[in-house]
Copies of this chain bind each other. A is one copy, B any other.
Amino acid sequence: MQDYSTFKNLKINFPSQFVLHVELNRPTKLNAFDRISWQELHACFKQIALDSDVRAVVISGAGKLFNAGIDLNNLQGINNNAEEKDFARRALNTRKELLVTQDSISSVEQCDKPVIAAIHNGCIGAGVDLITACDIRYCSKDAFFSVKEVDLGLAADVGTLQRLPKIVGNNSLIRELCLTGRNFSSTEALNIGLVNKVLSTKEEALTEALKTANIIASKSPIAILSTKHLLNFSRDHSVAEGLAYTAAWNGAMLNSSDLMEAVDATMGRRKPKFSKL
């Protein structure tokens, strides 16, 4: 069993076998992203990617709200390398910082294990970047969302503008939300398909997320990893390219004992048992 206890801004445990719960845990700062948060998120999901005891992940926020976005001190760090007088060098420095934060969020998408976000209350700015890198989103009724960056004088740059339109398949309301930065409610989030379900409370949202995580964790890990991996690949390629990659991928993956086990268990009306990855 790997150790996830060393993180400062993340609180992590196994609520059930193969299911990992990652809690954003900087409640006094409303879980805002500072430099440590970016680093830990990245390290955590790199570890998850290689941990065969993890088959599904739930992510939630401790305290009053899910995530208040970027820590303004961190933003000023990005902007304010004021000692550098040369514009080109400043731009390169800023880009370097951005790549770090992008890689941090992208590690969630690339860990190849399904990640379910359970959101309550505010999910703002970088919080939206984070949840759009997850696979499934549940929220409580009191949840609200904001692509807030425009109010800070910048365009969102850690994934929202890339992933949000591809999640909700809507480039109309999304543009209004991104251009005005206004809050939108859990109901609106449900209607556009950003969240799959709205639950009454934070606790229920978390319970529902864990329930789905358990279902996923009970399936063939080959099937689950492949499904997430291929959905990501296919989102970014033409249908023909996606099919060609899938044929190469499943050429190997179909030759798994998981198929026989799954079919046999179904026929025997018993729970299948799959070995680890």
Binding site for B on A (CB under 8 A): 72, 75-76, 78-79, 85-92, 94-95, 98-99, 102, 106, 109, 114, 135-137, 149-157, 159, 161-163, 165-176, 178-182, 192-196, 212, 215-216, 219-220, 222-231, 234-240, 242-243, 245-263, 266, 272, 274-275, 277
Contact = CB atoms under 8 A, between A and B. Distances in A.
Nearest to A240: B236
Contacts of A195: 172
17 contacts: A85-B257, A87-B91, A89-B277, A91-B255, A92-B277, A102-B246, A155-B230, A157-B250, A157-B254, A159-B243, A165-B235, A167-B170, A173-B196, A179-B216, A182-B215, A236-B238, A248-B248
Contacts of A179: 114, 135-136, 216, 219, 224, 227-228
Contacts of A79: 254-256, 259-260
Contacts of A109: 239
Contacts of A135: 175-176, 179
B98 A250 contact: yes
